[in-house]
């Protein structure tokens, strides 16, 4: 772990209690800022560089002065909004990023649509080791991944936007690494909607890919492959990876796991990797792409990843997380595999682990 991650400065007692109040009111402030973004208040401040009054904002957006004032005052308290001596409001630098930065928008939408209501049940999830917050979407699912294809569009779209924003930055970087040894067959384990499989097939016209995922989730991937006219080179295998009786086929040159192991607890990770290892030949390579919070260049990234683990606890599985790289490496070794090269700083925040069976 980088030694400077989460290194906090000494605080006075007053500063410490102020920081404590920020945490106590964080859920309310989050919704106030999100509401300012959705109602157009942040955009109004952005348009009026010289400043704008609360009255002008209210008239422009056809909102009550009361609503605009309470939101602006909340924004003022958290540094999203500034006010000058003439009592005109301005968008702060933090507010600018909340309004315009794609990563921040995706993170906020994901936390609002996917996590917010379910986080009420975080304490229960921690006690039971089950995603207790998932019940806000229905009682019939054990994990969010079973639920995902069936969720309302705004919820589903926010999840995909969040997930793909990060992976999209990594995929172009990893493709040359994966194809450098010249694989002819690949298995995309946890294929999601088939995005990587399609990119890989377009990148290398000689590769044949098998997508693996839950049956309902896999259907989306199959449809996307069909739309891309790649059904001759991309097929599918429905599999519940938590079913320890299910085995992977042999004869695969490369196994690909992208943002996948973070969806499982350590024992399940080891078991999945053991089953992959049993299907690997001496020259087979396993590529694992993950967001390890200890290998980040910036503290903001590590902060986001550590707190994304709470989503896995309350909403996704109840026992998974964004892992420290040392934990993943121990799981890989426990499954009987060696870690070769490790590529850091892939895309926005990913690490790529190249794994193989130990030399005889």
Q: How confident is the model at residue 2 (pLDDT cuts 50, 70, 90)?
A: low
CB-CB contact of 322 with 341 (8 Å): no
Q: Give per-residue pLDDT as tens, 102-135.
A: 999 999 999 999 999 999 999 999 999 999 999 9
DSSP per-residue codes, 217-247: HHHHHHHHHHHTT-TTTEEEEE--TT-TT--
In order of 68, 169, 301, the CA distances from 352 in angstroms are 46, 13, 17
Instruction: Please say whether the structural domain 106-356 has been given the CATH code 3.40.50.150.
Output: yes
Q: How confident is the model at residue 347 (pLDDT cuts 50, 70, 90)?
A: very high
In order of 8, 45, 131, 141, 345, the CA distances from 125 in angstroms are 29, 40, 5, 15, 32
**Domain limits of the chain?**
13-99, 106-356
Give me the pLDDT at residue 3, please: 55
Percent pLDDT > 90 in the chain is 94
Q: What is the pTM of this model?
A: 0.92
Give me the pLDDT at residue 237, please: 96
Q: Give per-residue pLDDT as tens, 12-52.
A: 999 999 999 999 999 999 999 999 999 999 999 999 999 99
> What is the rounded CA–CA span in Å between residue 139 and residue 130?
12
* b/e per residue 48-59 (b: at least 16 CB within 10 A): beebbbbeebbe
> What is the rounded CA–CA span in Å between residue 124 and residue 133?
8
Mean pLDDT of 162-172: 91
Which candidate, 248, 198, 255, 208, places its Cα nearest to that of 228? 198
Q: Do domains 13-99 and 106-356 have the same CATH topology?
A: no
Residue 262 phi/psi, 5° resolution?
-65, -10
CB-CB contact of 149 with 216 (8 Å): yes
Terminal Cα distance for the chain, rounded = 32
Helix-then-strand count for the chain, H and E: 15, 9
CATH number of the 13-99 domain: 1.10.10.10
In order of 167, 252, 326, 354, the CA distances from 259 in angstroms are 8, 20, 16, 14
């Amino acid at each position: 772990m980088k030694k400077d991650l989460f290194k906090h400065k000494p605080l006075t007692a007053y500063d410490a209690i102020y920081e404590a109040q920020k945490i106590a009111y964080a859920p309310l402030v989050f919704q106030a800022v999100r509401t300012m973004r959705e109602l157009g208040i942040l955009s109004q401040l952005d348009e009026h560089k010289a400043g704008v009054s609360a009255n002008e904002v209210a008239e422009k957006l056809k909102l009550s002065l009361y609503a605009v004032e309470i939101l602006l005052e909340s924004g003022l308290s958290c540094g999203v909004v500034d006010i000058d001596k003439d009592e005109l409001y301005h968008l702060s630098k933090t507010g600018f990023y909340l309004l315009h930065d794609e990563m921040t928008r995706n993170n906020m939408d994901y936390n609002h649509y996917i996590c917010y209501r379910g986080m009420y049940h975080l304490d229960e999830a921690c006690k039971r080791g089950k995603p207790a917050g998932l019940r806000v979407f229905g009682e019939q699912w054990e994990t969010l991944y079973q639920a995902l294809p069936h969720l309302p569009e705004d919820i589903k779209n926010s999840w995909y936007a969040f997930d793909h924003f990060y992976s999209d930055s990594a995929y172009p970087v990893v493709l040359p690494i994966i194809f450098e040894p010249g694989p002819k067959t690949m298995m995309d384990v946890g294929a999601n909607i088939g995005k990587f499989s399609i990119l890989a097939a377009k990148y290398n016209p000689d590769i044949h890919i098998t997508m693996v995922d839950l049956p309902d989730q896999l259907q989306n991937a199959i449809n996307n492959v069909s739309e891309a006219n790649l059904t001759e080179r991309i097929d599918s295998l429905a599999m519940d990876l938590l079913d320890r009786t299910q085995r992977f086929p042999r004869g695969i040159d490369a196994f690909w796991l992208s943002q996948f192991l973070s969806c499982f607890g350590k024992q399940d990770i080891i078991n999945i990797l053991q089953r992959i290892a049993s299907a690997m030949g001496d020259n087979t390579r396993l590529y694992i792409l993950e967001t390890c919070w200890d290998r980040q260049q910036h503290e903001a990234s590590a902060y986001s990843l550590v707190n994304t683990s709470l989503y896995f606890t309350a909403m996704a599985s109840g026992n998974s997380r964004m892992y420290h790289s040392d934990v993943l490496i121990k799981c890989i070794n426990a499954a009987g595999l060696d870690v070769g090269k490790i590529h850091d700083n892939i895309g926005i925040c990913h690490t790529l682990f190249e794994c193989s069976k130990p030399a005889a």
